[in-house]
C-alpha cells in the first residue's frame, strides 16, 4: 500500500455537506463559506512521547487528535465545519491506521465535520489537524473580552485527566472505577462544541482548558487586561480530587485541579446579568456550569484557599518549552 492507496483507503471519505466543493484528491480542497460568516481556523500538533504514549489506543488517539482542535473552535463559539489531517507515521501499519481513522472520523461525523484534505509522510509519529469552523461575523468568543465584575465559570469538571496521568505514573493510586473514568477524560476528551455555540452573545470571553485552569485563565486576563479572584473550593472536580485536597496528597490535588491540562472544558466569563441565561444553557446541555470567581480591575490571578486565604504559589501550567518540561 503506497501513500495514495493509504489515503484512498482510510482518509478519502464523502464530504458531509454541499459546502465542500472539492475534497481529498486534488492539490487542495475547496469549500464555500456561509455568507455572513467568518472562518475560524486552528491547528494542533500531537507528538508521541509528549502528548501521548507509544502504547496509546489508536482509536482513542484518532478521537483526541481531532477533539483538541474542535475544543479550540468551541472556545471561539464556532461551529466546526471542515478539517485537514497531516500525519507522519513511522510505518504503514493498517492495524494501527484503521482504528486511528475510525476514531477520528467517528468524532468528525458526530460534529458534522468533513475531512477535506491532508498529507501523509513517513517519520516519527506526529499528527497535525487543522480545523476550520464558522461564526456569524462579529460573534466569536475571544480571550480579550472579560470585564471587571464578570463572573468566571468553568464547565464540567477539571483535573481528572491530570489525575489519570498521575496514577499512570504511580504518583497516586486510584480505584479501578475512578481510574477508568479519569483515563476516559484523558483519552477521549469531549470538545464542548454545543456549549461554545450556546455561549455566543452571553459570554464576554472564553478559552478551553487545555494547559491547566490557572494558566489558561491567565491568558484571558492578560488579553483582557484584567485580574481575577477564584475560590479553590468552588472549582468543580471529581470527588477523588476533593478528598485528596484535604489530605496528604493536597499538593498533587492542587496541581491536578489548578494546572492539570487535557480536560478540554471551557473557562469563560459573563456578566452577572447572564446568570439566568447560563442556568438555562446548563440545563439544556445537561452540563454543569460552575461560577468559580470574579474578574477584577487588576491584581493578577488570585486563588483563595478553603479559608479565603490567597495561595502563595500557583501550580504551573504545562509549557512545552519550559526548562522543567
CA distance 209 to 156: 11
In the complex, the smallest distance separating the C-beta of residue 161 from a copy of itself, rounded to whole angstroms, is 17
Cβ nearer to a copy of itself, comparing 45 with 277: 45
Task: Dig out the grid coordinates for 89 from the structure.
Answer: 507515521
Residue 323: exposure state from Cβ atoms within 10 A (0-12, 13-18, ≥19)? exposed
CA distance 169 to 152: 32
In the complex, the smallest distance separating the C-beta of residue 18 from a copy of itself, rounded to whole angstroms, is 12
Cα 267 → chain centroid: 10
Altogether, the residues listed in the chain come to a count of 325
Cβ nearer to a copy of itself, comparing 173 with 320: 320
Q: Measure Cα distances from 178 to 2, 150, 175, 286, 306 in Å.
A: 43, 34, 5, 21, 24
Q: What secondary structure letter does DSSP report for 234? A: G
Give the N- to C-terminal CA distance of the chain in Å, as an integer.
38
Residue showing cell 502563595: 312
In the complex, the smallest distance separating the C-beta of residue 229 from a copy of itself, rounded to whole angstroms, is 23
The total of other beta-carbon atoms located within 10 Å of residue 325's CB is: 9
Cβ nearer to a copy of itself, comparing 2 with 248: 2
In the complex, the smallest distance separating the C-beta of residue 92 from a copy of itself, rounded to whole angstroms, is 5
In the complex, the smallest distance separating the C-beta of residue 146 from a copy of itself, rounded to whole angstroms, is 13
The H or E element spanning position 256 is helix 250-259
Cβ nearer to a copy of itself, comparing 35 with 286: 35
In the complex, the smallest distance separating the C-beta of residue 141 from a copy of itself, rounded to whole angstroms, is 8
Cβ nearer to a copy of itself, comparing 30 with 106: 30
Cβ nearer to a copy of itself, comparing 107 with 206: 206
Amino acid at each position: 500500500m503506497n501513500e495514495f492507496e493509504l489515503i484512498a483507503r482510510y482518509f478519502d471519505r464523502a464530504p458531509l455537506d454541499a459546502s465542500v466543493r472539492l475534497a481529498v484528491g486534488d492539490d487542495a480542497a475547496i469549500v464555500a463559506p456561509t455568507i455572513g460568516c467568518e472562518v475560524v481556523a486552528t491547528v494542533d500538533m500531537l507528538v508521541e512521547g509528549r502528548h501521548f504514549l507509544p502504547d496509546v489506543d489508536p482509536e482513542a488517539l484518532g478521537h483526541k487528535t481531532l477533539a483538541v482542535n474542535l475544543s479550540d473552535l468551541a472556545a471561539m463559539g464556532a461551529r466546526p465545519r471542515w478539517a485537514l489531517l497531516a500525519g507522519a507515521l513511522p510505518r504503514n501499519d493498517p492495524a494501527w491506521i484503521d482504528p486511528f481513522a475510525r476514531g477520528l472520523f467517528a468524532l468528525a461525523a458526530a460534529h458534522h465535520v468533513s475531512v477535506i484534505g491532508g498529507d501523509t509522510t513517513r517519520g516519527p509519529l506526529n499528527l497535525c489537524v487543522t480545523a476550520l469552523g464558522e461564526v456569524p461575523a462579529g460573534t466569536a468568543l475571544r480571550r480579550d473580552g472579560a470585564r471587571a465584575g464578570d463572573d468566571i465559570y468553568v464547565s464540567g469538571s477539571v483535573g481528572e485527566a491530570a489525575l489519570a496521568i498521575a496514577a499512570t505514573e504511580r504518583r497516586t493510586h486510584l480505584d479501578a472505577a475512578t481510574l477508568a473514568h479519569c483515563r476516559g477524560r484523558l483519552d477521549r476528551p469531549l470538545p464542548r462544541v454545543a456549549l461554545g455555540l450556546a455561549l455566543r452573545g452571553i459570554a464576554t470571553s472564553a478559552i478551553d482548558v487545555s494547559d491547566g485552569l490557572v494558566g489558561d485563565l491567565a491568558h484571558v486576563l492578560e488579553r483582557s487586561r484584567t485580574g481575577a479572584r477564584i475560590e479553590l473550593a468552588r472549582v468543580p472536580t471529581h470527588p477523588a480530587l476533593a478528598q485528596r485536597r484535604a489530605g496528604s496528597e493536597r499538593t498533587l490535588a492542587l496541581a491536578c485541579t489548578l494546572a492539570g491540562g487535557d480536560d478540554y472544558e471551557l473557562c469563560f466569563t459573563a456578566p452577572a446579568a447572564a446568570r439566568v441565561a447560563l442556568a438555562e444553557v446548563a440545563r439544556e446541555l445537561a452540563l454543569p456550569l460552575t461560577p468559580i470567581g470574579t474578574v477584577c480591575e487588576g491584581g493578577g490571578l488570585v486563588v483563595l484557599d478553603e479559608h479565603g486565604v490567597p495561595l502563595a504559589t500557583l501550580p504551573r501550567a504545562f509549557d512545552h518549552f519550559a526548562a522543567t518540561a
